[in-house]
Structure 1
Amino acid sequence: MITIIATFAVPEANRERFVELGRRLVAGSLAEVGNVSYQFVVSREDAGAFAFVEGWADAAAIDAHNASEHFTTLIPRLVELSDEAPVITQYEEV
């Protein structure tokens, strides 16, 4: 399994819209073949620090996800609502 953690810094004025779009991204992603898990979380210490914690069966599933309509539509909008570019890191089990 491959785990992806994508973090976003969102200003207060954009948080409500970011959460709305983030939930749509989760719903679409959970329905994808090869998705193991997809969580949308916010920091307990910083209400503007959000993360998507994703589990994927393999690289092909990630490629399909990155090409999906909901991903290509929603991610640019989420980035626009953020203070800076997201930080995205992929992990493999050891």
Structure 2
Amino acid sequence: MFNIIGVLSINPNSGDKLAQLLSPLIAASRKDPGCIGYDCKRDELNADTYLFIETWKDDASLDAHMQTAHFKTFVEQVDAILEAPLELHKIMLD
């Protein structure tokens, strides 16, 4: 089991658009096989930075998630409001 922490930096004043994109992604991702937890929260120190906090059972579950229509749609649509490329961190859990 492991966590993925994704750092998403968006263009200023794009929070409403991001919220529209996140809602269906989060709802669908939480139903993906092997997903233990999936959320995205705004950084309280930087209003244009959001953190994905995900917990996955195994690599196969994450790989399958990244091939889903809801994930691919989000990636395609969020690109228009990104300030910087998505930064990912993988943390193994005991």
Structure 1 length-normalised TM: 0.92
Query: Is there any run of 5+ residues in structure 2 with no aligned partner, and where?
Result: none
- The Cα shift of 1:89 comes to 1.1
Structure with the larger helix share: 1
Whether the 8 Å contact between 1:4 and 1:90 is mirrored in structure 2 is yes
Q: CA RMSD in A?
A: 1.1
Q: How high is the sequence identity, in percent, across the aligned residues?
A: 22
- The Cα shift of 1:54 comes to 0.3
Q: Distance in 1 between matches of 2:51 and 2:22?
A: 10
Number of residue equivalences: 94
Query: Is there any run of 5+ residues in structure 1 with no aligned partner, and where?
Result: none
Residue 87 (1) aligns with residue 87 (2): yes
Question: Which deviates the most, 42-51 or 6-15?
Answer: 6-15
Q: Which amino acid aligns with 1:3?
A: N
Instruction: Tell me which stretches of 4 or more aligned residues in structure 1 moved more than 3 Å.
Output: none
Whether the 8 Å contact between 1:7 and 1:52 is mirrored in structure 2 is yes
Q: Which amino acid aligns with 1:26?
A: I
- Deviation per CA, 1:36-93: give whole Å up to 9, x if none: 0001100111111101110000011001100001001112212321101010111112
| Matched residue, 2:19 | 19
Query: What does residue range 1-94 of structure 1 map to in structure 2 within 5 Å?
Result: 1-94=1-94
